[in-house]
A and B are shown apart, each in its own frame.
Chain A
Amino acid sequence: MTAQFPGIKPSERSFRLGQFPTKVYRALSGATVKRAFGNRAYGYELQLTFTNITDTAASQLIDHYNGTSGGFSRFTLPAETFAGMDATLTSKIQSPTQIKWEYTSPPEVRSVYVGRNTVTISLAGELDY
């Protein structure tokens, strides 16, 4: 069982919507035909930056990464991750339909001062059924 993602409010958040599974055939004439292979979007992207957080908070983020077997297991995100957004927008980003989050790369920890760190986390939202 993957541990809950730490309820730490990020100082910066970047989100990219998922895309639908399609392929495009383009004829020599330039005309295109698109084929859809599914009815759900995949490949959402979320980047979180936690600026100047304590060593303890940074440890929590690292522990969570390790708790997912180094990014193997998928998980959900708590409401604190989306602090500052209204409920409508949060619902579209926090848990798109049948999406769970996973790490796309290990967290990056940058020490900026004694006991203070800036942590960057990159996540992908993939279909989980």
Chain B
Amino acid sequence: MSEIRIAQYFKLTTASGVVHRYQNYFVGASSSYLSESYGFAPFQASGALATLNGDNETLQVLFPNLEVVLRLVEQANGNRLSTLQFTNAWLNASDQILTALTDYYVGIGASFSETTVELRFRSAIDSVGSAFPARTLTRENVGPLPLNSELYLR
């Protein structure tokens, strides 16, 4: 397939339960996804990544500095108490959804410029960090310690 059409669906729920739904493909129109209507907003998303360590994915969603976006940020307390369902939907030539993938994020803040508002998110699930359980190798619990860095856990 050498032609790709991707619509992105942005569903943000604020701490008070208010839901904001936007999509960025159908200009000036609403689009229905899973029986919910998404209005048009000219946003773009970037930054999601996955690592072998299982670190949190990060996502930045860039909006123009519209009044409706400022309201969205304020209702989510600076985008720190929001949850986001972000869906990439592959469309066919008739703009019908063929495949859709949804990721889940939590808000971690927002930043403003004279023309844009950037909402920042991280993935909702993180891997267990290396500090758990917090144990330290000492002479008391493992015996003599090596003088160099050649340490093998068996």
Q: Does A88 contact B (CB under 8 A)?
A: no
Closest residue of A by beta carbon distance from B27: A40
- Find out whether the CB atom of A36 lies under 8 angstroms from the CB atom of B3: yes
**Residue B126 at the chain A interface, CB threshold 8 Å:** no
**How would residues 20 to 34 of chain B score, 1 for a CB under 8 Å from any chain A CB and 0 otherwise?**
000011111000000
Contact A98 B28, CB 8 Å, known A39-B95, A129-B40: yes
Q: Which of B35-59 contact A (CB under 8 A)?
A: 40
| Chain B CB within 8 A of A127 CB | yes
- Asked if B26 contacts A34 (CB within 8 A), the reply is no
A35 touches B6 (CB 8 A): yes
* B2 in contact with A39 (CB, 8 Å): no
A113 lies within 8 A of chain B by Cβ: no
CB < 8 Å: which of B3, B24, B27 contacts A34?
A: B3
Interface size on A, residues (CB 8 A): 14
Kindly state the interface size class of chain B when it binds its partner: 10 to 19
Pick the residue among A31, A34, A98, A129 that contacts B4 (CB under 8 A). Answer: A34
Given known pairs A31-B2, A32-B2, the reply for A38 and B28 (CB within 8 Å) is: no
| B2/A36 in contact, CB under 8 A | no
A90 to B5, CA, bound (A): 30
Any chain B CB within 8 A of the CB of A114? no
**Interface, chain B (partner A; CB < 8 A):** 1-6, 24-28, 40, 95
Q: Enumerate chain A interface residues (CB-CB to B < 8 A).
A: 31-40, 98, 127-129
Other than the given A37-B6, A127-B27, 17 more pairs (CB < 8 A) read A31-B2, A32-B2, A34-B3, A34-B4, A35-B4, A35-B6, A36-B3, A36-B6, A37-B24, A38-B24, A38-B25, A39-B25, A39-B95, A40-B28, A98-B28, A129-B27, A129-B28
